[in-house]
Amino acid sequence: MSEQVQRTDVPVHEQWDLTHIYEDGAQWEADYNRALDLIQVVAAFEDQIHTAGQLLAFLTKDEELSFLYEKLFVSTSLKLDEDTRVTESQARVDKAKSLGVKIKSATSFFRPFLLSMEKETLDAYIAQEAGLDYFKKDLYEEFKYKAHVLSKEKEEVLAQLGEVIGVPKTVFGMINNADIQFGEVTGENGEKVTLTRGMYSRILESHNRERRAEAFKAYYKPYVGLKNTIASTLGSSVKNNVLFSKMRHYESPLQRSLFGDNVPVSVYDNLIQTTRENLSPMYRYVAYRKKHMGLDELRVYDLSVPLVEDFELKMPYEEAYETMLKGLAPLGDEYIGILKQAKTAGWIDVRETKGKRSGAYCWGPYGTHPYVLLNHNDTLDSLFTLAHEMGHAMHSYLSDANQPKISAQYTIFVAEVASTVNEVLLINYMLQHTDDLKLKRYLVNHFIDTIKGTFFSQVMFAEFEKIVHEKAANGEALTADSLSEVYRALFQAYNGEDVVLDPELQYGWSRIPHFYNAFYVYKYATGIASAVSIASRILEGDQEAVQSYMTFLKSGGSEYPLELLKRTGVDLLTPEPITKLLSLFDSLVGQLEAL
């Protein structure tokens, strides 16, 4: 569907149901007021925790407030994403964000207090008060931050700066989702149509090169026009990361980002280095693409075209969902049963509509169920996006159902494993269940491009983030020109000399929302490497692998991510999962050439 479709035109069964969180605005306001009251309650504990009972009382109220805030913020954010132009929704999100700042300010005393405590005192409290056992793991976890927590006064100031610190990300979000207009391009029948993000991805897969070039220029034009403004927002975000890393005594923003997951910097460096040393299969694929397409010059807008001419797989949403269920059948009856229920239970918002947030995600508060935002347009990419996001949804659902609040939330690091296992299982199912050589070739090509997008592109983005943060740390200015110079060089290095770079390409950094959540994207790459390893064992019929994977999905955040993955047989401290994925990519390129 086009973005011009109104939300009222979409069938109810293809919309999520946010009344499962709050039936109406009055309920939201009631919880908002309850949260304000709880803020006063938790703030009153400052300088008043002298016994095990008082510590338990604070932690209990603090957890209640935390999950109430999550419910308030998530529900109103989901509502805004239905239509980012609605000022009432914008105002309520701002109200929720302000509430979050008040909560941080009211509770900012606790970490310095806890870290000023002797471990022996905490041990004694936990021994005295049985209820503290529930909070034990998190309390001891806090002690690793001892060197990185500031004084009570400084923590209060940082808490009050919360909204200001988030401005670069907020401003970019409004530019990217609400303000950017892509102008008109030529439609399939020669008519002029307004370009949308969903349409752009479809046109890039078109075999009409003139339309691809036109859409590429139209898509990048507003970003190029705003390059200095967006360089300012991204530069400010990076400088914030550098500043707060120094203030909190981390070796670097990268180390600070990995610290919470207990992931050593060597994992990040190993990912980049191992990939850099194995780029020849990518160059081989790009050279094959250029030759197969019969092009004198291979351009960026030529890189997404399926290499099977006159073949387009259109799959309506209903059929896509059924195909996904069949592909994920190796995960067992429990998994499939929940997926079947999710389709009709108000979890999923399916269609692209006017003003709706772009892309796709899964999100939801503990105690309700996950919500999945899609912009489904009946393509093969839409099918795999569906499987990807439902992987997140199942991970959330199973974690929430099997873990208490305190350990239900898994980290982003392992989140991308669950989503990508689904994609790998699905593509294997589709390859195994067709004798059509044209379709098989199409699917192998798609699998290659999935790895290219989920692994190689994300490693490139990860290296970009590392470089620009190092530049900022060294006092170098982050201008549109300097950011573009880094981006262009990396794109050429990762894709090879066979790709001729259009001038617009160097501004690719200006359109990536994930850069405002620093050092996030590398987890897509480690995720697909881990997923390939897990899925390969499942596809071999290893029932122990299925059980260990289901246990992983139900484990939430009960352990550090690297430990959770080790239980599935994946060790990211070694190059092995990365080299295994790169070997698969090389094999797939060989299959494509043979087919």
Q: Could you give the residue numbers annotated as active site?
A: 389
**Orientation of helix 412-432 relative to helix 380-402, angle to 10°:** 130
Query: What does each C-alpha distance from 13 to 10, 16, 349, 353, 355 come to in angstroms?
Result: 8, 8, 9, 15, 20
- Strand bridging mode 499-500 / 298-299: parallel
As a residue count, the chain comes to 595
Q: What is the DSSP string of 22-62?
A: -SSHHHHHHHHHHHHHHHHHHHTTTT---SHHHHHHHHHHH
Backbone angles phi, psi at 408, to 5 degrees: -75, -35
Q: What angle do CA 42, 46, 49 make, to 5 degrees?
A: 95
Cα–Cα dist 382/249, whole Å: 44
**From the CA atom positions of the chain, what is the Rg in Å?**
24
Torsion angle of alpha carbons 143, 146, 152, 155, nearest 10°?
-100
End-to-end CA distance of the chain: 33
| Residues 6 or more apart whose Cβ sits within 8 Å of residue 337 | none
Closest CA to 592 of 368, 390, 437, 402: 437
Give the Cβ contact number of residue 90 at 10 Å.
Answer: 15
